[in-house]
Amino acid sequence: MNKRQIKLMQGNEACVEGALAAGIKFYAGYPITPSTEIAELCAEKLPQVGGKFIQMEDEIAGIAATIGGSLTGLKSMTATSGPGFSLKQENIGYAALAEIPCVIVNVQRAGPSTGLPTAPSQGDIMQAKWGTHGDHPVIALSPTSVRETYDLTIKAFNFSEKYRTPVILLLDEIIGHMREKVEIPNSDEIEIIDRLKPSVEDADEYMAYKPKKGELVPPMAAFGEGFNFHVTGLMHDDFGFPTNDANISDQLLRRIMKKIDNNVNDITMYEEEFMEDAEFLVLAYGGTYRSARSAVKKARLLGYKVGLFKALTIWPFPEKRIREISNKIKKILVPEMNLGQYVLEVERVVKNESEVHHLGKVNGEAITPEEILSKIREVL
């Protein structure tokens, strides 16, 4: 085996390196702090691998072109932050219903509105799930380190290709902008998934929205390869043509939801630590997880029996596991850089099995280990 490369790398840079490893060939976007390095590096590196970078006129055009790029068969990505993420919502819904794989990176900064452009936040957790209108499938991932940013960017592309759906990668300014030591895995250690394509013989009767029997994800042809199909944001039939038919509409929406709902075990990623004798749980994600881990280690030294849960997949929520945990652990703390978003999901799932506490911070500064530790003390 080749020796792995060890580098000092920034989170945003690892996102681009991960995207390249996953096979990205198209990026369109509009630069916005704190995600700008992703656009800059894509502009530099995509032409070197035969890809294309386009700086669009605005955020909406950025995702629109990304969706178009994917329809031509290229793995496509765009990156943004809060204000741009808001603007992209309509087209995220379009990609979900038209089943166009793409990756949308949101490096979260403090909002609402233009807020604090250079300061971290985790305020877009619920927006990632509910930002676009109507019921729609959502996959959102959130790394806690530079290495995980590399890995989860690859995962984001893999999930988007496998399930033919947009995937949201939620970084925050802490993870996006920090640099740390990373070991880059060799290409033979990385699993890459490409979208399922129809076979050439099927060109005449190709139906872009009809999965094979017993499956949920239809094979996807690329525009320009001789397959004809129609793409619309309206409810549509198997050929992609608009319909008002109640049955077809119902079946379509239920099928695209099932792509995720029936594969929760494949998509849900989390890690646990210090759980054996834990009587108290800290559940954290993204940049805040780093503070939580430091706090939990300090709490352990002080004799508190605290466990730690890291949510890498934000949506779908790791429902089953959190419910199991709540049968055993009666107190759960959720620290997050917002005024109470992910904690709502924990409360929903544990019902009244566990007491759920929240530590929120929205002043543009990271939650410190000390703040989490004193909350642990207060609650225990």
**Sheet harboring 306-311: ordered strands across?**
270-273, 306-311, 280-284, 331-336, 355-360
Residue 147 in the binding site for other proteins (CB under 8 A): no
Residue 39 in the binding site for other proteins (CB under 8 A): no
Sign of CA dihedral 132, 140, 262, 159: positive
Complex with other proteins: residue 178 or 216, whichever CB lies closer: 178
103-132: which residues touch other proteins (CB under 8 A)? 117-119
Looking at the DSSP assignment, which residues form a beta bridge with residue 313?
141
Query: Beta 116-120 vs 139-141: how paired, if at all?
Result: unpaired
Angle at 312 between CA 215 and CA 133, to 5 degrees: 60
Cα 368 from Cα 374, distance rounded (Å) = 10
252-311: which residues touch other proteins (CB under 8 A)? 287, 290-291, 293-294, 297
CA atoms within 13 A on the CB side of 64: 10
Residues 369, 373, 375, 376: which binds other proteins (CB under 8 A)? 369
Cα 95 from Cα 258, distance rounded (Å) = 16
Closest distance to other proteins from the beta carbon of 173 (Å): 9
Segment lying near other proteins (by CB under 8 A), choices 243-251, 343-351, 353-361, 367-375 = 367-375
Residue 33 in the binding site for other proteins (CB under 8 A): yes
Residue 8 in the binding site for other proteins (CB under 8 A): yes
Complex with other proteins: residue 89 or 291, whichever CB lies closer: 291
Segment lying near other proteins (by CB under 8 A), choices 3-11, 150-158, 274-282, 344-352 = 3-11
Looking at the DSSP assignment, which residues form a beta bridge with residue 273?
308
3-state secondary structure of 364: coil
Q: Which of 58, 129, 137 is nearest to 98 (CA)?
A: 137
Residues 90, 180, 194, 319: which binds other proteins (CB under 8 A)? 180
Closest distance to other proteins from the beta carbon of 125 (Å): 20
Residue 321 in the binding site for other proteins (CB under 8 A): no
Segment lying near other proteins (by CB under 8 A), choices 17-25, 155-163, 177-185, 270-278 = 177-185
3-state secondary structure of 287: helix
Closest distance to other proteins from the beta carbon of 364 (Å): 9
Binding-site ranges for other proteins (CB under 8 A): 6-8, 33, 117-119, 174, 177-181, 287, 290-291, 293-294, 297, 366, 368-370
